[in-house]
Chain A
């Protein structure tokens, strides 16, 4: 607890959701203002830039559908990560798990002949499985050898990246791609249908929303969810209560990494219709999802909102590039600023500010009527 003149700052362990939302919006406003400075420095009128952003992201069906399209992988990865972070399992490997899922889906699409719609079902299943598999090694290392999963999952990202590169240049290089580094294009049956008039591959979106709901239910109403929450908040108490951390953690990992794998399926089956350069399959979704999950504070349902927010932010960067002819790095400056402001605002959230002029608090317990906050505080 600290005193700043007439104000008292004290830690607030459970800020009300209204305040969370309010402070977050304030932080966003601050970031947008700071970005306005950047725009002005580039010779663009900030207000015009904001208008362009709003128009380009929300003004029509097409625009909103682009935001949705960007949101889908963020949603899937983010929901999974929200669960993982809730269990204090710091999965930084969503990027690699996404790529692993893409590889699994590609294998089914190109090499496993199945009738009609079963291909897509099999692709999703395969993507989930390969994604989950990719998260298995770091989990085992954490369970058996107490190796920090942040580091191992980060390393697995790179291994996945080079594995995909090896596949598209080597054994899976397409015969019909003019020698370029792509696999062959997926057959029609292995392509996800798009929402009419848009480019939104809606099955993946449906899967993402369903997963968010399912994980929210799991966390709130099932025994596993209870174990996850206890493990996350107080692992020692969890052991006393008979919770087996291995089982819980494995379940969390399977769901979290599998969700990221599903995002990978969506990208190759819904956007590209082939496997290609890993930097094109994932535009940093795995890392951005960390922000999605962190902003959602471990709630899968809130992750739906934060994923949409981040999708809108990415899209607005694209809009700026075209409308204002700004260099493409402006998006990174924008995103970085937003993150810094949001992070900075965390502190505001964790703190409750009270108005308590010194004169009143000196008389501890005096109970004089009319004095603010009399009694009980020192």
Chain B
């Protein structure tokens, strides 16, 4: 009998002590449009989620992959039922569903990647590559021997067009006669299509490759022909160590950790997110130059890039290698003393798109439809 009283006493003590001892955990749910094994967009988001969970001891996360666009709302609800207080939806197509859910659940917090609609409890976020693509373009312009570079694009939407244009601007800065040949595969993930598009571009004479596709296929195809390329999204240098010059890398964890920390600290609540729009670039370290973290330029190409020289209005005559590193530093600085889309810039039809001395606003960047000079190939919905 006495033993029971002892047990009860212990339980009582534990119960009293619990609220003080236990930390309030924050549970966040992540909704992905593709599989985390895609080694592209979704894989990078999941990496961000995992790093955030590692670094924030009070964070608990759940995720769902390959959610069809029409199903985003039921999945959000299921996550909320599982206790998630913050929901991240990682695809443009989830925008309206996320907004509807945000209105339905005013006490929960939502964040939508790559979109533009917000609410008191719904923020938007994006880590964009255009600066990195410009740097890649500088290198491509120096390395091309045929004067033809290539870009395998996913969809002809402003995001990809912006990256393509930045790449082209970089190429032309170093090699004013060079061209960027583009082919579209109309899917984010289709290795067979990426392969055939690359082969078609090789047949057209291109010898340096950049792309937007969620797999290392372009890198592998180019490497088989001994041609250089730039990795995309995930570290791809290991797929062709002697052929990947550089690339674009993303660190979604920077945004996730920042956003979740602010929520945990009470700075971001379900009422004040209507103007929270992360547009994070090199300066915020949300994106990185390189085919592998910490390696902005593959050492195998250092000599070639140092040998190529180019004249610039503000830095004089420098090697391409130095130019890349200098521009990288300028764009990584908080004041961003350089931006690729600084006027005067005309599109490939000759229409003035950026007036002299001006930079493009975020709104103009996210609705870009024109093609930069030097771009050759189909360009749907060209204004």
The interface of chain A, by Cβ under 8 A from chain B, is: 56, 62, 66, 69, 165, 169-170, 173, 178-182, 199, 267, 271-272, 276, 279-280, 283, 318-319, 321-323, 325, 327-328
B64 contact set on A, CB distance < 8 A: 321-322, 328
Q: Does chain A have a CB within 8 A of B161?
A: yes
Segment among B74-82, B124-132, B169-177, B233-241 that sits at the interface with chain A: B74-82
When chains A and B are docked, how far (Å) is the Cα of A77 from the Cα of B116?
A: 36
Smallest CB-CB separation from B65: which chain A residue?
A: A328
Residue of B65, B73, B75, B78 with highest tally of chain A CB at under 10 A: B78
Q: Does chain A have a CB within 8 A of B264?
A: no
Main secondary structure of the interface of A (DSSP, over half): helix
Decide yes or no: A325 and B62 within 8 Å by CB, A165-B186, A180-B93 being known contacts: yes
Segment among B151-159, B195-203, B301-309 that sits at the interface with chain A: B151-159
Q: Does chain A have a CB within 8 A of B3?
A: no
When chains A and B are docked, how far (Å) is the Cα of A271 from the Cα of B156?
A: 25
B92 contact set on A, CB distance < 8 A: 178, 180
A173 and B381 contacting across the interface, CB-CB below 8 Å: yes
> Which B68-102 residues have C-beta < 8 A from chain A?
68-71, 73-75, 77-79, 82, 92-93
A283 contact set on B, CB distance < 8 A: 68, 70-71
When chains A and B are docked, how far (Å) is the Cα of A351 from the Cα of B88?
A: 53
A276 and B69 contacting across the interface, CB-CB below 8 Å: yes
When chains A and B are docked, how far (Å) is the Cα of A170 from the Cα of B184?
A: 13
B157 and A180 contacting across the interface, CB-CB below 8 Å: yes
The 8 Å CB contact of B71, one of A179, A276, A279, A318, is A318
B367 contact set on A, CB distance < 8 A: 178-179
Decide yes or no: A272 and B69 within 8 Å by CB, A178-B367, A323-B78 being known contacts: yes
Decide yes or no: A179 and B381 within 8 Å by CB, A165-B186, A276-B69, A321-B64 being known contacts: yes
Q: Does chain A have a CB within 8 A of B35?
A: yes
The 8 Å CB contact of B93, one of A165, A267, A276, A318, is A276
When chains A and B are docked, how far (Å) is the Cα of A321 from the Cα of B67?
A: 10
Query: What 4 A-B pairs have minimum CB-CB distances, sorted nearest first?
Result: A179-B157, A328-B66, A322-B78, A271-B70
When chains A and B are docked, how far (Å) is the Cα of A36 from the Cα of B366?
A: 47
The 8 Å CB contact of B35, one of A179, A272, A322, A328, is A328
B73 contact set on A, CB distance < 8 A: 199
B66 contact set on A, CB distance < 8 A: 328
Q: Does chain A have a CB within 8 A of B253?
A: no
When chains A and B are docked, how far (Å) is the Cα of A100 from the Cα of B35?
A: 28
Smallest CB-CB separation from B368: which chain A residue?
A: A179
The 8 Å CB contact of A280, one of B63, B77, B93, is B93
A318 and B75 contacting across the interface, CB-CB below 8 Å: yes
Closest CB in chain A relative to B297 CB, distance in Å: 32
Known: A170-B380, A279-B68. 11 other contacts (CB 8 A): A178-B158, A179-B369, A199-B74, A283-B70, A318-B74, A318-B75, A322-B62, A322-B64, A322-B78, A323-B82, A325-B63
B116 and A169 contacting across the interface, CB-CB below 8 Å: no
B69 contact set on A, CB distance < 8 A: 272, 276, 280
A62 contact set on B, CB distance < 8 A: 77
When chains A and B are docked, how far (Å) is the Cα of A283 from the Cα of B74?
A: 15
When chains A and B are docked, how far (Å) is the Cα of A230 from the Cα of B275?
A: 67
14 interchain pairs, CB-CB under 8 A? A62-B77, A69-B74, A169-B156, A178-B92, A179-B161, A181-B155, A181-B157, A267-B70, A271-B70, A318-B78, A319-B78, A321-B64, A327-B35, A327-B65
A325 contact set on B, CB distance < 8 A: 62-63
When chains A and B are docked, how far (Å) is the Cα of A290 from the Cα of B62?
A: 34
When chains A and B are docked, how far (Å) is the Cα of A178 from the Cα of B156?
A: 10
Closest CB in chain A relative to B72 CB, distance in Å: 11
A169 contact set on B, CB distance < 8 A: 156, 186, 380
Closest CB in chain A relative to B85 CB, distance in Å: 15
The 8 Å CB contact of A178, one of B62, B71, B79, B116, is B116
Residue of A66, A182, A267, A283 with highest tally of chain B CB at under 10 A: A66
B70 and A280 contacting across the interface, CB-CB below 8 Å: yes
A322 and B65 contacting across the interface, CB-CB below 8 Å: no
Decide yes or no: A280 and B74 within 8 Å by CB, A179-B156, A179-B158 being known contacts: no
Closest CB in chain A relative to B181 CB, distance in Å: 20
Smallest CB-CB separation from A272: which chain B residue?
A: B70
When chains A and B are docked, how far (Å) is the Cα of A318 from the Cα of B79?
A: 11
Closest CB in chain A relative to B127 CB, distance in Å: 18
The 8 Å CB contact of B155, one of A180, A267, A321, A327, is A180
When chains A and B are docked, how far (Å) is the Cα of A288 from the Cα of B120?
A: 40
When chains A and B are docked, how far (Å) is the Cα of A327 from the Cα of B65?
A: 7
Closest CB in chain A relative to B246 CB, distance in Å: 27
Smallest CB-CB separation from B33: which chain A residue?
A: A280
